[in-house]
Amino acid sequence: MELIDIGVNLTHPSFARDLPGVLERARAAGVAQLVLTGTDLAESEAALGLCRALDESGRHLFCTAGIHPHDASQWSAESAAALKALHNDPRVRAVGECGLDFNRDFSPRPQQERVLEEQLQLAVDSGLPVFLHERDASERLVEILQPFRDRLSAAVVHCFTGERRALYAYLDLDLHIGITGWICDERRGTHLHPLVRDIPRDRLMLESDAPYLLPRTLRPKPRSGHNEPAFLGEVLREVARHRGEPQDELAAQTSINARAFFGLPLSD
């Protein structure tokens, strides 16, 4: 059984001491390929650097390059040009993480919207898919996406945590949906249990969002309390349970979806 983790924050300092171990545990758990998330210009460059340093074959580690809505206030003509250059690298497989976050509002909402639109245009220009973040902003995200959608190759709402109305609005735009360990959280994720059945099989992908969102159903729990890609199988197990599908079939289908979305090669 093979899995693809479409969203891991491998540049996070908690991974720095044991990157080879993290990757080895992921491989041992059947996670064959990982897409490292770029959340600002520096992190996007760092993610690309890790892909080059830790995967000489070019078949296992890939990344995104973008500016998260939290950091939208940092946007400039220089950062736009630097991102555009990153998008030309073959290891960079999506524009993002970009989007809207009206939950924390770390950057002003008008600035978040403008920076999202600029990154959507970068995706149109490059032909790359888009890796989207959204919190408490689904209606506005849909409004901004609509005029771009026919020109975008594809887009995924990463770490979907929303309600039915938001899910159906995204599916109406032919978006992919990324599911994380949020679905394993009995305090705040149970509303996803019936909703994952409504995601078409060719639109669903899985992600750890490590080191965040350690699946609360995981036993035994790691001493560190940090999530890592090796635990993606727990997300698979929970999604398969609520979709009423065999785990091996769901693993195969979500891997097919991820390879098609990001244009990934077959792993070794």
Pick from 199, 120, 204: which is nearest to 164 by CA? 199
Res. 267: pLDDT tops 90: no
pLDDT single digits (tens) 97-136: 999 999 988 999 999 999 999 999 999 999 999 999 999 9
Q: Report domain extents, the chain.
A: 3-262
The edge-to-edge listing of strands for the beta sheet with 3-8 is: 3-8, 31-36, 61-65, 92-101, 130-135, 155-157, 176-179, 204-206
pLDDT single digits (tens) 50-82: 999 999 999 999 999 999 999 999 999 999 999
Res. 206: pLDDT tops 80: yes
Rounded to whole angstroms, the Cα distance separating 65 from 74 reads 15
Per the prediction, the chain carries an average pLDDT of 96
Confidence of residue 86 (pLDDT cuts 50, 70, 90): very high
Region 21-42 average pLDDT: 97
- Alpha helices per DSSP H over 150-231: 164-172, 192-195
Supply the pLDDT for residue 225.
Answer: 87
Region 206-232 average pLDDT: 95
The DSSP result for 116-132, as a single string, is HHHHHHHHHHH---EEE
Res. 224: pLDDT tops 90: no
Is there a contact between 215 and 184 (Cβ–Cβ < 8 Å)?
yes
What is the β-pairing status of strands 61-65 and 176-179? unpaired
Query: Residue 2's beta-bridge partner residues?
Result: none
Confidence of residue 1 (pLDDT cuts 50, 70, 90): confident
DSSP 8-class letter at 238: H
Rounded to whole angstroms, the Cα distance separating 62 from 71 reads 22
Region 2-14 average pLDDT: 97
Region 176-189 average pLDDT: 96
Supply the pLDDT for residue 10.
Answer: 97
Res. 268: pLDDT tops 80: no
Is there a contact between 221 and 228 (Cβ–Cβ < 8 Å)?
no
Q: Which superfamily is assigned to 3-262 in CATH?
A: Metal-dependent hydrolases (3.20.20.140)
